[in-house]
Amino acid sequence: MPTYLYPENVTNALKEIGLKSEDCLWDCHGQYVLKHYACERLAAHNGITWDDPELIENDSDAGKVVIKLWGYLGDKSEFTFGEATPKNSKNAYPYAMAEKRAKDRIILKLIGFHGEIYSEDEAEDFEEEVKALEKAEKKEEQEKVDTSVYGKIGRKRATEEIKKLTPLFAKSKSDDKKVREEAIEDAQKINKWAAKHNLAIVQDRYYKLFENKKSA
């Protein structure tokens, strides 16, 4: 990703501490994410300090930890919570993860980047939400495709009719005249039904089978 696409204020702040955006930022589904070491370097450079973390919730058996943390930059102060649970973190050390998340969040708040970029330790937190959103969008897009191809009838019904054509084609080659005629008649009914509902995909299958047969 070219440097000029990164937020200019973030690029400038990283440049002050000898880091490059392309080395520290990555694109997580359209959201910029800053690596943890870069957050720590920014905190040290700007002189951010901390109170001791306050343990709000502690369930080591369940791997659930929540801490509250205050951070300071000059006369500015911010507090936040750092959370780590099996639902939002795969890290085997929930205490360390909760503290890292809280610190990184405060760093980005104090230097004015929070909401514009996220830390990599927060990325796990929203990545699942993003994946769920992308899945929903993909489903919606597929439904649009289904509508354009299968109309109001829908994929399921259209597919069922397509599947009927193959055994009908086999019967149309029977030595029994009655079986042949009934099969062709049933296939023609499906083709007429498809034409009525603008189901070109069904008609295409019909013509490939039965028109080829006629011309053979």
Q: Give the tens place of pLDDT for each residue, 93-114.
A: 888 889 999 999 999 999 999 8
**Pair (174, 104) in one structural domain:** no
From 135, 169, 200, the end of a domain falls on 135
User: What range defines the domain where residue 176 resides?
Assistant: 151-215
- Are the C-beta atoms of 98 and 83 separated by less than 8 Å? yes
Assign residue 46 the CATH number of its domain. Answer: 3.30.390
| Cα–Cα distance for residue pair 40/33, rounded to 1 Å | 14
From 135, 161, 192, the end of a domain falls on 135
Q: Give the pair of three-digit tokens for residue 104.
A: 């990184």
- Are the C-beta atoms of 214 and 191 separated by less than 8 Å? no
Q: Is residue 141 part of a domain?
A: no
Q: Is residue 211 part of a domain?
A: yes
Please tell me the predicted confidence (pLDDT) of residue 42: 96
Please tell me the predicted confidence (pLDDT) of residue 215: 37
**Pair (193, 126) in one structural domain:** no
Q: What strands lie across the sheet with 118-119, from one edge to the other?
A: 25-28, 31-34, 118-119
Q: Could you give the number of structural domains in the chain?
A: 2
Average pLDDT, rounded, for the chain: 83
Q: Is residue 45 part of a domain?
A: yes
From 84, 106, 135, the end of a domain falls on 135
Closest by Cα among 73, 103, 100 to 84:
100
| Cα–Cα distance for residue pair 103/34, rounded to 1 Å | 13
Q: Is residue 126 part of a domain?
A: yes
Q: What phi and psi values does residue 57 have, to the nearest 5 degrees?
A: -140, 135
**Pair (23, 101) in one structural domain:** yes
**Token pair 């639902």 in the structure block, residue:** 87
Q: What phi and psi values does residue 136 have, to the nearest 5 degrees?
A: -65, -40
Please tell me the predicted confidence (pLDDT) of residue 127: 59
Which residues contact residue 145 at a Cβ distance below 8 angstroms, ignoring those fewer than 6 apart?
Answer: none
pLDDT (tens digit per residue) in 64-82: 899 999 999 999 999 999 9
**Pair (63, 91) in one structural domain:** yes
Please tell me the predicted confidence (pLDDT) of residue 153: 79
Local confidence pLDDT in tens for the 216 residues of the chain: 444 478 889 999 999 999 999 999 887 766 788 999 999 999 999 999 999 999 999 887 888 899 999 999 999 999 999 988 887 777 778 888 899 999 999 999 999 998 788 888 776 665 565 566 556 657 666 655 556 667 777 788 888 898 888 888 888 887 778 888 998 999 999 999 999 988 888 998 899 888 764 434
**Pair (38, 99) in one structural domain:** yes
